[in-house]
Amino acid sequence: MNTISDILSSFDPISLPELSEVQLLDRTDMKYIFHIGQLERILAQSQADYKILTIDGQQYGHYETRYLDTPDYSLYTNHHNGRCNRYKIRFRTYLDSGQSFFEIKFKSNKGRTVKERMRLHENQHAMTPESRKFLEEKTDLKADSLAETIQINYNRITLVNKLLTERLTIDFDMTYRIDREDHLFPNLVIAEVKQQRNGHSPFRDIMQDEHIQSLSISKYCLGIASFSPNVKTNSFKSKLLYVNKLSHYNAN
């Protein structure tokens, strides 16, 4: 991480208040998955067009996300089956600041992602009367039907293009905890381009030059499909094979 840290320190910084201008809670997304051995080169190529979120001199953050689903994994299954108008429900904690949120992500039938969230007073992992009300006002789901299915911890680099029209998150060092067991993806990087509308993106140009194709699979679905028994995985098989290949080869 030392060389990567040197590259990150050469980016122009952007503060958290400035980043709030580019929240993009209603947006289009495009994901890319690649080997961490490629990250140094990709970051170096991104430097001219992006600023990096910097908090107290730190240029990447530590995240904890706990996802909720029904006992039969209906939210996961909706994604697996390609159903439009689907939800992800989660608790997210920014471990460096201690801030926590209860979040609802909605993917519309027009391909847009809408995220709504409520601030929690402390690092809560269970539904409260307030979060139950929030869930049932925003969705057709019932709080009593949901329980935690997986916890994902990871590091995140957040870049913002210099026009302030695009955010880019780069997640790495992912640890999945399910049924009290930890599973690691140490070589995997998941990058996501987030735009208000599907316009030009310098990062997508870099991905094309690097011959990295977009691959639409969420961290949640990746974890459930990889480590949870008795769930449907047919639609994800080629993606899981690709991830497994990335996880075991040396990109250097």
pLDDT above 70 coverage of the chain, percent: 94
pLDDT in tens, 80-126: 998 988 999 999 999 988 889 999 999 888 778 888 999 998 777 88
**Cα–Cα dist 238/54, whole Å:** 36
Which domains can be identified in the chain, with CATH numbers? 2-248 (2.40.320.10)
d(CA 25, CA 140): 20
pLDDT digit string, tens, across residues 32-66: 999 999 999 999 999 999 999 998 899 999 999 99
Q: pTM for the complete prediction?
A: 0.91
The predicted pLDDT at position 18 comes to 86
Split at pLDDT 50, 70, 90, the class of 12 is: very high
For residue 26, pLDDT beyond 70: no
> What is the tens place of the pLDDT at every residue in 171-208?
999 999 999 999 999 899 999 998 877 778 999 999 99
Diameter of the chain by CA atoms?
A: 51
- Crossing angle between the packed helical segments 2-9 and 39-46, to the nearest 10 degrees: 10
Q: Give per-residue pLDDT as tens, 213-252.
A: 999 889 999 999 999 988 999 999 999 999 988 887 665 5
Please give the C-alpha separations between residue 8 and each of 59, 112, 156, 160, 166, in angstroms, as whole numbers.
7, 30, 12, 13, 18
Res. 132 pLDDT band, cuts 50 70 90: very high
Would you place residue 27 in the very low, low, confident or very high pLDDT band (cuts 50, 70, 90)? low
